Every structure is written in structure tokens, then in C-alpha cells.
Amino acid sequence: MIVAGWIVLAAAAAAPIAPTASAVTTDAGTGGVRQALPPNARAAFDMLRAASTFESAHIGYGGTLSENARAVRTLIREPEAPRAFQTLYDSHSPVPVLYALTAFWYLRPDEFMALVKQARERFGSVRIGTMNGCIRDEETVAEVLERSSRRPAARRLAPGTGAQAFTCAERKGGTFVYDFVSGTFPITIVEEQPVRSDRKTCAHPPPLPDHLKPRR
């Protein structure tokens, strides 16, 4: 899907995430990271471990914040976030791996493209359910990771780029494609796009909050 912008929705206060009936709620195979998380983050971790559909940040006709995106935003604030997302990345299921990559855009920007390559090698041909806005589909993991290669003019951002810089890049024009290598999926899922894109803000964007800076 090619986008020149998106609908900006006001960010609601993060609501507690309760484990669903299908969520993985055991500590087996987590290396103790699940037990180290506080309850709300543990529920977010369980939700992402059990995720079987990859969803964009906002879904449905009303543009509701995806519960999976909410879980990523909850988990990435934790001190144990790097270990928790590594556990998801090591999963045998592709969807948790994709959600781990949204966090690694920020936490491990220097390694991001190598991590994308590894994910493509492991799961590239696997077909998964996706939901982009109100559109349900089935796509290969490789397609979700990189569509922009088919659009030579599509813009890409450097791993670690934040939502404010993305907004300002859109202001300058050009076309973005929703995938991982462009940064659109990681940025929109982990952050809410700022409303302001005036010249002064774009010339001197505010720094990213500490929980979105590289850490291991």
C-alpha cells in the first residue's frame, strides 16, 4: 500500500492490557524475562507472543489503535524491553518476530537491516494474516518486510528515525510505502505521529524519549 500521509488520531491514555484467552501465559522458553516484567507489561508480552495477525497501528473503519500496537508501546517502556523483544524475535512464529522488529528499529538501529534479513531468511515465504487499516489480507512475510524495492521512488528513513522526523519528511513531499525497510511500520506502530510539522519544529525536532533510544 502506498501512502502520502495518514489519518492522525489523538493518542488515548494507555489502558491496562489483559491477557486474552488465546494468549501464551507461561514462562516456558522465555529465559525468565516474562517473570521479570510487571503485570501490565507481562500481559503485553503474552499478547505479542500469541499474535497470529500482523496489524497496522490503527485498524478498522474507526481507526482504533490496534491492541498489538498498544502492547508494543507498553512493552518498549520497560527496562527489560530489549530482552523481551529478543525473546519474541527468537520465536518460531513469524508475527511475534515482526513485532519485535518494530521495537528493534529504535533499540538496535545499527543492526536493524541485518535483523530484517535474518527474519526474511527464516520466514520470507510464509504467508500470514495482515490487517492494514480496515483491509484484511494474506501476505508473505517478505512482502510485509519490503515492498519499497518494487517502487524505486519510494522513500526510506534511517533506522532509529522517530515519528517527528517522519512527519517532517512527509511535509517535504515524496511517497512512502508501508513496510519495514522504509520505517513506516515500525514508526507508526511504536509511536503516534505528531500533528506539528512546521518549519521550526522540523529544523529542530525534539529528541526521542529515553525508552526509544538504542539500548540492549
Digit-coded pLDDT (tens) for 50-65: 999 999 999 999 999 9
Q: What is the pLDDT of residue 154?
A: 78
- As a whole number of angstroms, the distance between CA 37 and CA 25 comes to 13
Digit-coded pLDDT (tens) for 88-116: 999 999 999 999 999 999 999 999 999 99
DSSP for 173-196, written as a single string: ---EESSSTTSHHHHHHHSPPPS-
pTM, whole model, 2 decimals? Answer: 0.87
CB 76 within 8 A of CB 20: no
Edge-to-edge strand list for the sheet holding 53-59: 64-65, 53-59, 127-133, 135-140
Percent of the chain with pLDDT over 90: 67
Digit-coded pLDDT (tens) for 138-151: 999 999 999 977 77
User: Residues of the chain whose pLDDT is less than 50?
Assistant: 1-14, 21-22
In this structure, what C-alpha cell is assigned to residue 3? 501512502
